[in-house]
Amino acid sequence: MSQEPEQASAFETYRSLLDRHPLLRVRSRPESSSLAPPSSAVNGSSSTTQVADIDLRPLKQAAIMTYLSDNTRQICQYELPGGGECRDKNCENVHLSRLSAVEPSDEDTAQYLCSSLPGGQRYGVKVFMKALDVARLSQPTMPFDARVQEALSRLGLR
């Protein structure tokens, strides 16, 4: 009977791993907050028009979480269990091997830029979306980060 108190003290209260990774809880937060930038995303003051490199990681992570949490699709059977790769270009399932290709939509990116850049609200979502579209049309193969930087340059923010 003296062992019972020892066993009871050996157990700890469960703490979810998700508590240390808040972006993994993107579905439990309001939509607008899932795109809110970290406070350190942009350097500089609101009186300057030039901005330092913006941290797009939270935006990309939110896009990946949205992709992974689409409960209308399943993980492709060829990607599990042995880490295989699906070669069907028309496969509509979720592909873990293609996560690096998941990009935020222009609308989500524009909302993120509006809320994270000093004075971003002054431009509005539509202006950022147009700049992103022009950057995409000028160089269709441009990577996401470069496209965002190009859009900011076109608006005079870089």
Give the integer Cα–Cα distance in Å for 110 and 152.
Answer: 11
Count the domains in the chain.
2
Residue 75 has phi, psi (to 5 degrees) of -70, 135
Which residue, chain included where needed, has tokens 């923010």? 157
Q: Is residue 8 part of a domain?
A: no
Domain that holds residue 81: 54-102
Q: Which of 62, 87, 102 is the last residue of a domain?
A: 102
- Regarding whether 146 and 120 lie in a shared domain, the answer is yes
Give the integer Cα–Cα distance in Å for 86 and 88.
Answer: 6
First to last CA, the chain: 71
Q: What is the pTM of this model?
A: 0.64
pLDDT score for 78: 87
Q: Is residue 156 part of a domain?
A: yes
pLDDT score for 9: 60
Mean pLDDT for all residues in the chain: 78
pLDDT tens digits for 67-110? 998 889 998 888 887 778 888 989 999 988 888 899 999 999 99
Identify the CA nearest to 51 among candidates 108, 128, 144, 129: 128
